[in-house]
Structure formats: structure tokens, C-alpha cells
Amino acid sequence: MTETITTTTRPAHPIRQLLAASVGNAVEWYDWYAYTFLATYIADQIFPKGSGNSLVPLLSTFAVFAVGFFMRPVGGLLMGAVADRRGRRAALTVTILLMGGSSLLVGLTPTYAAAGLLAPVVLVLARLLQGLSVGGEFAASTTFLVESAGPGRRGLFSSFQYVSTTIGQLIASGVAALLVNTLSGGQMDGWGWRVPFVFGAALSLFGFWIRRGAQETRDPLREKARPALFEALRLHPRASLLICGITAGGTLAYYTWTSYLPTYAELNAGISKGDALLAGTLSLAFFALLQPVGGMVSDRFGRKPLLLFFGLGFALLSVPMLKLISGSFVSLLVVQCAGMVLLTGFTSISAAVNAEIFPARVRAAGIGFPYSLTVALFGGTAPYMGTLFKEIGHSGLFPWYVALLCLLSSLVYLRLPESAHRELDR
């Protein structure tokens, strides 16, 4: 089947495009991480231990371990299809409104004491919608960012995917910390935990306003026939598998270094929770600054050198780096920052690499489903795998697990054709 190539020109205002994608993405991830940072307060109000109802702990487990990550592939497929069939801007508008609505729903969720079993049901529904939104956001914003870039700038624009994600995470952490340190325990339990979610809903309206002024990067109405829901998987199975292979090691390393490492240091090196969180925050800020540098390097020298720098670097250094973590704050900060440098070889260009694999007709859905599925399988389970190894008395195996998966992804990178200097299919 021959792909139909549209003649859509590059946007006249690329910086405005970059702002529309980045602001919206930061808001999306602020809402997603706010739940993570405030989960203990939510659990106390929505899933009380003494409820005496066997369905409550079941729903709690379902919400925490399954709903968030495993709705993301569905979101990637559905919102990716919207982006391919209705346009990238339409999908970006839907995802940010969906995230804003689900964030407001979390903020307004009744307590178990007030509504009984309805409370956890409402919260699970909100997390379903959040997972759907986040999965769709990556599919739509990836294609939008890369298609908005001028010649020789796709890597640079791609890097803002993780710049904005990290900013959203840092804002969520800062808002949560401010509330916890300002309000009393009773106030946090009563209403304080709701504030970040209502604030997130308001931020989503701001993101929606920004995105309304963005220029569409590809007009699907020029196609004689719009792509079917599973067309990307059916006609491009090799490309779909490539996305999985490219992403597996990267998502495991990303969630290990950005989310799980503070907990790993607490469990295995005896570092205090305060020091672990401070090291994590500082390294995340450092990580955000590195992303545009990685993107520009890839535009100059290609995608493969950076991917191999990441993959082989983690394959060789994951074990020694994690063994270097002692009981000191400095050791953790050094290891986290060193890992962030290596990780930038993947994160700064993953959006560009993914977008350059698929033709424009099915680019968003083609990226969204396999990417989000791989993140759910390997990234979302990273903390649980680390904890599992610890519980069975073999915590030293977790670094080898990270190294092995990064080595397998490196084999994919070796066979990947260089795409940095090719014209992007539009």
C-alpha cells in the first residue's frame, strides 16, 4: 500500500508550537504526579483500613497497581487514532481536557466515611481517565512536536517532551511539599490533599487556551480515506516492534533513576527519606537542563550515537553505579546525576526517533500503543521489581535486570537505520 503524503507546510511560528506542546505536557504530568505524591493521604480517606468491606482493599490494589499504567496503551491507541484521523491539535485538546476533568474528579472524590463504596469507585474512574489521557498525550504531543520542528531541529524539539514532563513532576512535588509543610495533619487529611487536583484542573484550562492557538501540523482531511484504528499495527508490524525494543531499556532506566532510586537508596543503603528526596529533586532539575543539549547533539551527529551511549552505558555501568550508593547524600546525588547524563541519550531524542519510524498517516497511533504498552510492562513495574528482588533476598539482582534490558535495547539500536538527516514524511 502506498502512503499518501500531504503537502502541509511547517508551522510559521515554531516557538509557539513548542510552547503549546510543552505547557500542555507539563500540566498533564503535574496532574499525574500529584496523585503519586499525595497517595498516602488519599488512601487514608478513600481506602480506610477498618472499613470491613472486602471490596475496598481490592479496589485499592486495582487502582494503585493497574489502572494508571495499564490504561495508557488504550489511551495511546485511541488518542493516537484521533490525532491521525482528526489532526494533532484536536487530540491535544481532548487529552488536556480529559486530564483536567479527571484531576477535578480526584479533587472532588467523596471520602469513604461520606459515600461508602462509591468513594473508591469514583477514584478508580478518575485514574482510568488519567491513564487514558497520559497515554494519549505522548502519542499526540510526540508527533506534534517533531512535525513542528524546522530542518535540523527535530532532536531539539523532541527533547522538550521530557523537559516539560520533568517540570510537571517538579511542580507537583513542590506544591505537595508546600502544603505538607504549611498545613496541619488534620487539615491535610480533611481538605489539603484536594487542593493540588483542583489547581491542576485550573492549569488544564490554561493549557487548553494555549493549545487552541497552535497550528495544525498535518491535515488528515486531505486523505481520501482516514486510517483504521489498527492500521499501524496491521501494516507496520516491524515498526511497532521497533518501538517496543527502543523503549524497553529506556523506560526501565528512566523510572528507576527518576522515581525508584530514592526508595532503592532507603531500602539498600540506609539513606534517610529526606536526603533521598532532596537528591532526587536536584537530579531531576539537572536532568531537565540536559535534554536540549542531547537533542541538539543528535541533530548534529545523529540519533544512533546517543542511543548507544545510553544503552551501552547503562548495560556496563548500572551495576557499579548502584553499588556505589553508600549511606551518604553525596554518593546518591553523584550516582543519580551520572545516570541522568546517560539517560539523556535516550530521553532527549525518543520522541524524534519514534516519529521518524512511522509514516505520517499513522504516526500518532503507531507510536502511542506500542510505546505505552512497553512503558506499562517495564517502566511502570520498575519499583515493584526492585521491591520484589529485595523481598526475596536478592536485591543485588535488580541492577543486573536493568543492565540486561538496556543491553537488549542496545542490540536494537545497533540495527536501527540513522534517521536524523532524512526528510520527515508529512
Residue 177: CATH number of its domain: 1.20.1250.20
- Domain shared by 139 and 287, yes or no: no
* Residue 173 forms part of a structural domain: yes
- Domain shared by 260 and 327, yes or no: yes
The three-state (H, E, C) secondary structure of 317-375, written as one string: HHHHHHHCCCCCHHHHHHHHHHHHHHHHHHHCCHHHHHHHHCCHHHHHHHHHHHHHHHH
CA distance to 28, 100, 117, 237, per residue, from 169 (Å):
10, 16, 31, 33
* Residue 167 forms part of a structural domain: yes
- Domain shared by 54 and 173, yes or no: yes
- Domain shared by 209 and 240, yes or no: no
pLDDT at 35: 82
Q: Give burial (CB, 10 Å; 0-12/13-18/19+) of 310.
A: buried
**pTM of this prediction?**
0.86
- With a pLDDT cut of 90, the percent of the chain lying above it is 46
- Domain shared by 258 and 341, yes or no: yes
- Domain shared by 363 and 333, yes or no: yes
Interatomic CA distance for residues 150 and 357, integer angstroms: 18
pLDDT confidence tier of residue 63, bands split at 50, 70 and 90: low
* Those residues with Cβ within 8 angstroms of residue 363's Cβ, 6 or more apart along the chain or in another chain: 83, 84, 143, 355
- The model's pLDDT over 188-234, given as tens digits with 9 standing for 90+, comes to 888 999 999 999 999 999 989 988 888 888 777 666 678 888 888 89
3-class state of residue 406 by DSSP: helix
- Domain shared by 205 and 265, yes or no: no
Number of domains in the chain: 2
pLDDT at 11: 62
The one-letter amino acid code at 424 reads L
- Domain shared by 322 and 377, yes or no: yes
Kindly tell me if the per-residue pLDDT of 140 is higher than 70: yes
- The model's pLDDT over 98-116, given as tens digits with 9 standing for 90+, comes to 999 999 999 999 988 888 8
Interatomic CA distance for residues 347 and 389, integer angstroms: 26
* Residue 256 forms part of a structural domain: yes
Kindly tell me if the per-residue pLDDT of 3 is higher than 70: no
Interatomic CA distance for residues 360 and 3, integer angstroms: 8
Q: Domain limits at 28?
A: 10-216
- Domain shared by 256 and 404, yes or no: yes
* Residue 275 forms part of a structural domain: yes
- Domain shared by 187 and 290, yes or no: no
